[in-house]
Amino acid sequence: MNDQPRQVGGGRRSIGDIAPKLAALTDDVLFDDVWNGPGLGARDRSLITVAALVRGGDTEQLRFHVGRALENGVTADELVETVTHLAFYAGWPKAMSATTILKDVLGASEAEHE
């Protein structure tokens, strides 16, 4: 999809010093190739990724991807609704943990815009 913002990974910046191969795969394959593929827009990919991370209980990665989702046009209300919906499919504890992440990230996002 040509109208989406180009997705760029931060693997080399964040972990390149300790795991250069994983960093390169993150930047070159996951983000440059997969995230920028033609089949889905960045917004849809972000919602899918957030849902997968909530389901897996991967809260450290979720924090980053909630921010990325906001950048890709997913609204705060849509993120909250997604996590609420997932409570019944992914599990209540995972949804509660994800909601804590949402609260932190969305609160920080709102503070940046004040």
My answer on whether 22 and 76 are in the same domain is no
Among 70, 28, 25, 32, which Cα is nearest to 49's?
Answer: 70
pLDDT at residue number 13: 86
Encode the chain (114 residues) as per-residue pLDDT tens digits: 446 667 777 888 888 899 999 999 999 999 889 988 889 999 999 999 999 999 999 999 999 999 999 999 999 999 999 999 999 999 999 999 999 999 999 997 666 655
Written as one letter, the residue type at 25 is: L
Instruction: Determine the pLDDT at residue 10.
Output: 81
What local confidence, expressed as pLDDT, does residue 5 receive?
64
**Range of the structural domain that residue 17 is part of:** 1-39
57 in the same domain as 35: no
Q: Are 27 and 75 in a shared domain? A: no
Q: What share of the chain is helix, strand, coil (3-state, %, to 5)?
A: 70, 0, 30
Same domain, 65 and 22: no
- Domains contained in the chain, number: 2
